Amino acid sequence: MRVIPFRFEGNRFWLLDQRRLPKEEVWVPCQTAGEAADGIREMVVRGAPAIGVTAAYGMVLAHLSGQDPAEADRVLRKSRPTAVNLFYALDRMKPHWGDLEGSLREAQAIWAEVEATEQAISQHGARVLKGQVLTHCNTGPLATGGYGTALGAIIEAHRLGRVSHVWVDETRPYLQGARLTAYELQKAGVPATLITDNMAAYFMAKGQVDAVILGTDRMALNGDFANKIGTYGVAVLAHHHGIPFYPALPLSSVDPHLETGAAIPIEERSALEVTQLRGVQIAPEGFPAAHPAFDVTPHTLVTGIVTEKGVLYPPFDDALRGALGWG
């Protein structure tokens, strides 16, 4: 059963508060673009494609509340910097500024595109997965509003009898794996085991990981990509152990302005998300803590890129340009 993280109802965009999962299912109503931006920034809703859909409906809310679309666009663009889906969606909404019906149609189209591309990603990704798969962070319907990307592929591969078990990285510090991926795999009936991030090497060394698949927040044209912090480490471990490593993404997550990953903006989040665990102080009060929320994995560590157009193999510059229709 898929848990869709939002719904548009009664001229409000309702967000399932992912900070409260898996214990409580609490819905938060957004009536303005500012409230949608707050929901993105505070990670009520999170996940690259889901952020894009939320931003699109934030522009619909701006029209419903009589807000200047340019101001709404500015507020939404400031909410989080790394996932390119946010900017892709707002660029798609721009031609409809001042037009409520057109904005609503475009937002619905963006959401429908998420659903369609992720069904394809899941089917293509399922064909490269087998045995025991490790994943990092959360890339299911909660992160996308559709079928999921990497987790969609895992669930489909299990349905086909290809994947027998999933190692779920808890994904410190925000714990998207422990709280959200475990929740989604349990609902989907897929056998899985939660591990702390520092256990991945142990299970790889024991030969208990046959493939790694995970998400993408922004990919450059050479295949370098940004994803949840810890992804780069998993990629290095997989490379060392000769384990196939696949980022999964819709092609709308490719940044057409970036030749390499060097310029991908990395979000710095509050140190409190590291020094506290669900509000419980775990480090000395005020102790300094770093919190880059993403890291960049070089394309040289990537086996294949799972997209709605199929699985792309090196040289990724050519493969991505071909998939984007750039010849």
Ligand X SMILES: CSC[C@H]1O[C@H](OP(=O)(O)O)[C@H](O)[C@@H]1O
Binding stretches for ligand X (CB under 6 A): 46-49, 137, 139, 143-144, 149, 176, 214-217, 227-228, 293
| Structure-token pair, residue 153 | 């592929």
CB of 11 to ligand X, least distance (A): 26
Instruction: Using the minimum distance from each CB to ligand X, give the nearer residue, 46 or 63.
Output: 46
CB of 162 to ligand X, least distance (A): 21
CB of 93 to ligand X, least distance (A): 20
Residue nearest to ligand X (CB): 215
The reply, when asked if residue 48 is annotated as ligand binding, is yes
The reply, when asked if residue 222 is annotated as ligand binding, is no
Q: Which of 169, 217, 224, 255 is catalytic?
A: 217
The reply, when asked if residue 80 is annotated as ligand binding, is yes
The reply, when asked if residue 46 is annotated as ligand binding, is yes
Angle at 249 between CA 246 and CA 326, to 5 degrees: 105
Instruction: Using the minimum distance from each CB to ligand X, give the nearer residue, 64 or 320.
Output: 320
> What whole-number distance in Å separates Cα of residue 108 and Cα of residue 127?
30
> What whole-number distance in Å separates Cα of residue 6 and Cα of residue 16?
6
The reply, when asked if residue 77 is annotated as ligand binding, is no
CB of 246 to ligand X, least distance (A): 12
Instruction: Using the minimum distance from each CB to ligand X, give the nearer residue, 144 or 275.
Output: 144
CB of 166 to ligand X, least distance (A): 15
Cis peptide before 22 (omega within 30 of 0): yes
Phi, psi of 211 (to 5 degrees): -165, 155
Q: Which residues contact residue 272 at a Cβ distance below 8 angstroms, ignoring those fewer than 6 apart?
A: 289
| DSSP H stretches of helix in the chain | 33-41, 48-64, 69-77, 84-93, 100-126, 141-144, 150-159, 176, 182-188, 200-205, 231-240, 272-275, 316-323
Instruction: Using the minimum distance from each CB to ligand X, give the nearer residue, 48 or 182.
Output: 48
> What whole-number distance in Å separates Cα of residue 194 and Cα of residue 213?
16
Instruction: Using the minimum distance from each CB to ligand X, give the nearer residue, 106 or 295.
Output: 295
Reply yes or no on whether 17 is catalytic: no
Please report where in the chains the tokens 């140190």 appear, as a residue: 271
Q: Which residues contact residue 146 at a Cβ distance below 8 angstroms, ignoring those fewer than 6 apart?
A: 49, 111, 114, 115, 117, 118, 119, 152
Binding-site residues for substrate sit at: 46-48, 80, 176, 227-228
Residues assigned a catalytic role: 217
